[in-house]
Amino acid sequence: MLSETDPNFQVLNAMVREFADAMDFHGLPKVERIFTSPVLPLERQVLRVVFGHDIYAMKVDFTSDVTSRLAQEFEGLKRLSKHFQTYEKLGTATPVYLSKAGTFFAMNFLNLPTAGQRLQQSQQLQTTRQVYRRAGLWLTAMHEFKEQKQGKFDGKWMVHEINARIEDGNLKAPLADVERMRDILREDVVEVHHTKSTRAWSHGDFHSENMMLSPGMTYAFDLTEARMKMALYDTVDFLKVDIYRQMPSEEIDRSGIIAKHREMFFKGYKHKVKPELFDVAMRGRLLIDWASIEKSGYAKNESQQLQFLRLKQRLDVAFQA
């Protein structure tokens, strides 16, 4: 439940009351904050609101009465939800209510295991491969929401990101290793620079915790970052979860991903992605993530220690001398 000591308790309570009135609910709702962004706490909060047997997720942005961000996201989600109704066994969260001031909106709460949880809980290859295939199917539908266009791939930003991590001087990874891999990546980027690739309406944050699975349906949600961009990057965002699957190095391809999992994802994903572009983008993403782990965070965070180890194993294969 929300605490009355919360500095925003009165405002949040009024939001919940507005929503309850709109839904004609007269009881006492159960309210729990399930997410607050550490970077943008006023703009990115999510509440879990229970009205009897009905459960909703409420996205809150205290600045959205000025920026209209949530109103725009709500309208986009309405159109996207309608779009997904034309596909069998694929969906997204259903928008329910937008506040009068535009500072919150509610949608149905999806209480299902995430793709990441499925991958962590199962060591069965058939099960994990199906998770990747279903992710590809969902992303196919997402990328068909608006007319696709062609653009030119420019991966120089990845090299710039790695250089920024080096300049910060907080690398946990050995500097010589990061610089060697960065130099290889820079050459790869030059080789594919301005290669044509598809631009599509993209999720923008399509990782394994933003996809949920039931026996008959695949859902994805949290579309705050949805926009037109290179479709390639959504495929990279999801497939990078693959680093947590242990597999002999001979099963890893030059992108750093388990070859059979990549194959299954692209059996589901129907739009063309040039393999050479995927290889460069994935290797760049994994190297950025590795270089982003700082000494201080590594020392006190077990999850970062595991991530560091898994990334190193994959990068050793992807950038083998």
Give, for all 321 residues of the chain, the pLDDT tens digit: 677 778 888 999 999 999 999 999 998 899 999 999 999 999 999 999 999 999 999 999 999 999 999 999 999 999 999 999 999 999 999 999 999 999 999 999 998 999 999 998 877 878 899 999 999 999 999 999 999 999 999 999 999 999 999 999 999 999 999 999 999 999 999 999 999 999 999 999 999 999 999 999 999 998 989 999 999 999 999 999 999 988 899 999 999 999 999 999 999 999 999 999 999 999 999 999 999 999 999 999 999 999 999 999 999 999 995
All CATH 3.30.200.20 domain ranges of the chain, comma separated, are: 9-108
Q: What whole-number distance in Å separates Cα of residue 43 and Cα of residue 217? A: 30
- Give the type of residue at 247: M
Instruction: Residues 9-108: name the CATH superfamily.
Output: Phosphorylase Kinase; domain 1 (3.30.200.20)
Are 140 and 258 in contact, with CB atoms under 8 Å apart?
no
Q: What whole-number distance in Å separates Cα of residue 171 and Cα of residue 87? A: 45
47-56 burial, b at 16+ Cβ within 10 Å, e below that, comes to bbbebeeeeb
Whole-model pTM above 0.75?
yes
Location of structure tokens 């990057």: 233
Q: What's phi and psi for 147, nearest 5 deg?
A: -60, 130
Q: What whole-number distance in Å separates Cα of residue 244 and Cα of residue 250? A: 16
Q: What whole-number distance in Å separates Cα of residue 159 and Cα of residue 181? A: 10
Q: What whole-number distance in Å separates Cα of residue 101 and Cα of residue 205? A: 27
> Residue 92 forms beta bridges with which residues?
220
Dmax over Cα atoms in the chain, in whole Å?
A: 67
pLDDT given at position 161: 98
> What does DSSP assign to residue 187?
H
Q: What whole-number distance in Å separates Cα of residue 317 and Cα of residue 252? A: 7
CB proximity list for 81: less than 8 A, separation 6 or greater? 91, 92, 93, 94, 95
- Give the type of residue at 216: G
> Residue 252 forms beta bridges with which residues?
258
pLDDT given at position 61: 97
Are 151 and 274 in contact, with CB atoms under 8 Å apart?
no
Best CA proximity match to 90, nearest among 199, 210, 213: 213
All CATH 3.90.1200.10 domain ranges of the chain, comma separated, are: 115-318
Name the helix (H) or strand (E) containing 107: strand 104-108
CATH 3.90.1200.10 fits 115-318, yes or no: yes
pLDDT tens for residues 54-113? Answer: 999 999 999 999 999 999 999 999 999 999 999 999 999 999 999 999 999 999 999 899
Are 294 and 188 in contact, with CB atoms under 8 Å apart?
no
CA angle 34, 40, 45 (to 5 degrees): 25
Going by DSSP bridges, is the β-strand pair 218-220/211-213 parallel, antiparallel, or unpaired? antiparallel
pLDDT tens for residues 265-276? Answer: 999 999 999 999
Going by DSSP bridges, is the β-strand pair 196-202/95-98 parallel, antiparallel, or unpaired? unpaired
Name the helix (H) or strand (E) containing 196: strand 196-202
Q: What whole-number distance in Å separates Cα of residue 219 and Cα of residue 205? A: 14
List Cα–Cα distances, 104 to 16, 27, 53, in angstroms. 9, 21, 21
